[in-house]
């Protein structure tokens, strides 16, 4: 009886989103285990992702599926379990992004293996959203993103630039070569640290294995591409205070981050468990509150739709190179990574999450700031 009720409820919710169970349209799903329905109602997004990894269901176009689910606000119609409610309550008061915990995302995600990222990303190993305004390929979009960031920072030769969350060194290398600046890049991933050091070894670039809370000194410019998602809402204010402390009086800070349409204190449970431990997407309100009274917001640029294209390009490269990667990663990893990339693509396509580049100054740019696009 309960099993039949669960199936009826889930079927109705999916139908409302334009999804048919065992249908043949893009975004429809095939169910292989009848326990799928009760698991979804019991465990929500965590159960949905784990059931996919367990081969309980399948879908040929996961990106379309998630776009439809999000636009239909399906998740809001499923009651949260007491376990999840308790976890959400704890996230409001417990700092899951302490210095010690911050290392988790480096070890569990960015240190999965450079071979994985080399077979998925562009040749410069950019793991953030490309800028597709005038680009036709992933390589073009990523170079355009790097140059857009440099132009927004108004880099000139000899400047000292801090790159918080430098990844595999793509920005540091590009800025040093194209704009003749000195760069200090920090990361909490050991594999990124070693790779970036080698990439930038003949340039005026220093790569450090370091937490942002340990920084000192003064910089003409600060850039952070795709790192703020790991800071956590209880640390946003501290992060902005650090940026202010590190900037020269006439300095500029570019914050590039994925953003949420609403203020949250947690991440999607499946994403947090399997992809980005302790991650969290900031909202406009949270960023505004964190920076209020510390920095002047000069420009706010949203090109979240570009992340859909970026993720689909990464997914294409990942699947095209799977025959090489599968010698190291198993089939369950393939389904996990496939789910991650396409779920995120669908989320950006549905405009549930955004990509922001925000330009801050320490004291307001004299005469005003004109942002390039």
User: Is 110 found in the same domain as 74?
Assistant: no
| DSSP secondary structure string for all residues of 244-288 | HHHEEEEEEEEEEEEEESS--SS--HHHHHHTSTT----BHHHHH
DSSP SS3 for 223: strand
Could you tell me if 189 and 287 lie in one domain?
yes
pLDDT of residue 96: 59
Q: For residues 316-329, give the mean pLDDT.
A: 97
Q: Give the distance from CA 96 to its chain's centroid.
A: 17
Give the number of domains in the chain: 2
pLDDT higher than 80, residue 84: no
Give the sheet arrangement for strand 247-260, strand by strand.
Answer: 205-209, 182-187, 160-164, 219-225, 247-260, 353-361, 296-302
pTM summary value: 0.92
Task: Give yes or no: residues 138 and 254 share one domain.
Answer: yes
Q: What is the mean pLDDT of residues 251-264?
A: 97
Query: Do 254 and 356 lie in a common domain?
Result: yes
Residue 14 φ/ψ, nearest 5 degrees: -65, -40
What is the pLDDT, as a whole number, of residue 172? 98
Assess whether pLDDT exceeds 60 at residue 224: yes
Q: Is residue 327 part of a domain?
A: yes
Residue 86 counted as domain residue: no
Chain segment 64-79, per-residue pLDDT in tens: 999 999 999 998 887 6
Closest CA to 265 of 243, 226, 235: 235
In this structure, are 49 and 197 located in the same domain? no
* Averaged pLDDT for residues 109-130: 94
The parent domain of residue 343 ranges over 99-361
Whether residue 149 sits in one domain with residue 19: no
pLDDT of residue 30: 98
291 and 164 part of one domain: yes
What confidence score (pLDDT) does residue 104 get?
Answer: 66
Q: Is 200 an annotated catalytic residue?
A: no
Residue, of 89 and 177, whose pLDDT is higher: 177
Flag whether pLDDT at 323 surpasses 60.
yes
The more confident residue out of 108 and 238 is: 238
At residue 301, the pLDDT reads 98
Q: Do residues 230 and 192 lie in contact, with contact meaning Cβ atoms separated by under 8 Å?
A: no
Q: Tell me how far apart the alpha carbons of residues 215 and 318 are, in angstroms, rounded to a whole number.
A: 35
Backbone angles phi, psi at 136, to 5 degrees: -115, -15
Question: Which whole number is the average pLDDT over 135-153?
Answer: 98
**Dist. CA 276–CA 112, nearest whole Å:** 12
- Name the average pLDDT for the chain: 92
Is the Cβ–Cβ distance between 177 and 193 less than 8 Å?
no
Which of 50, 79, 108 is a domain's end point? 79
Range with the lowest mean pLDDT among 26-35, 79-88, 195-204?
79-88
pLDDT at 264 over 60: yes
Let me know whether 139 and 71 are in one domain: no
The pLDDT score that the predictor gives to residue 87 is 44
Domain contains 150: yes
Tokens representing residue 261 in the block: 């349409």
pLDDT of residue 83: 44
pLDDT at 76: 85
Question: With 90 as the cut, is the pLDDT of residue 176 above it?
Answer: yes
In 73-107, which positions are buried (b, 16+ CB within 10 angstroms) versus exposed (e)? ebeeebeeeeebeeeeeebeeeebbbeeebbbbbe
Same domain, 127 and 196: yes
Residue 195 is predicted with a pLDDT of: 97
Give yes or no for residue 36 having a pLDDT over 80: yes
116 and 162 co-located in one domain: yes
| Annotated active-site residue in 59, 150, 200, 344 | 344
Helix (H/G/I), strand (E/B), else coil: 162:
strand
Q: What is the pLDDT of residue 77?
A: 80
Question: Band of the pLDDT at 89, cuts 50, 70, 90?
Answer: very low
Query: Does some domain include residue 88?
Result: no
Q: Are residues 137 and 218 in the same domain?
A: yes
The share of the chain scoring above pLDDT 90, in percent, equals 86
């Amino acid at each position: 009886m309960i099993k039949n009720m669960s199936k009826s409820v889930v079927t109705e919710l999916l139908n409302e989103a334009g999804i048919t169970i065992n249908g043949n349209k893009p975004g429809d799903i095939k169910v292989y285990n009848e326990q799928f329905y009760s698991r979804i109602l019991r465990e929500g997004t965590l159960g949905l992702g784990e059931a996919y990894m367990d081969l309980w269901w399948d879908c040929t176009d996961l990106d379309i599926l998630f776009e439809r689910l999000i636009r239909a606000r399906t998740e809001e119609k499923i009651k949260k379990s007491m376990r999840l409610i308790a976890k959400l309550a704890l996230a409001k008061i417990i700092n899951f992004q302490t210095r010690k915990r911050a290392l988790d995302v480096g070890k569990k995600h960015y240190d999965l293996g450079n071979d994985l990222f080399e077979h998925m990303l562009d040749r410069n190993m950019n793991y953030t959203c490309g800028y597709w305004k005038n680009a036709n390929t992933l390589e073009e979009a990523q170079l355009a993103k790097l140059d857009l960031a440099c132009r927004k920072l108004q880099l000139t030769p000899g400047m000292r630039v801090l790159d918080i969350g430098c990844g595999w060194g793509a920005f540091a290398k590009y800025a040093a070569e194209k704009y003749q600046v000195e760069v200090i890049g920090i990361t909490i991933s050991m594999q990124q640290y070693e790779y970036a050091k080698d990439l930038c070894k003949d340039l005026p670039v220093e790569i450090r294995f370091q937490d942002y809370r340990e920084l000192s000194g003064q910089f003409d410019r600060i850039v952070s591409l795709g790192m703020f998602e790991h800071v956590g809402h209880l640390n946003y204010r501290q992060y902005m205070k650090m940026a202010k402390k590190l900037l020269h009086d006439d300095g500029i800070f570019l914050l590039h981050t994925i953003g949420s349409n609403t203020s949250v204190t947690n991440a999607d449970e499946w994403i947090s468990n399997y992809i980005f431990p302790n991650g969290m997407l900031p909202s406009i309100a949270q960023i505004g509150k964190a920076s209020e009274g510390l920095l002047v917001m000069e420009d706010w640029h949203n090109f979240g739709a570009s992340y859909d294209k970026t993720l689909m390009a990464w997914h294409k490269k990942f699947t095209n190179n799977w025959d090489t990667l599968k010698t190291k990663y198993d089939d369950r990893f393939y389904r996990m990574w496939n789910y991650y990339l396409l779920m995120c693509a669908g989320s950006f396509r549905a405009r549930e999450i955004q990509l922001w580049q925000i330009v801050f100054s320490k004291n307001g740019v004299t005469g005003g700031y004109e942002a390039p696009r």
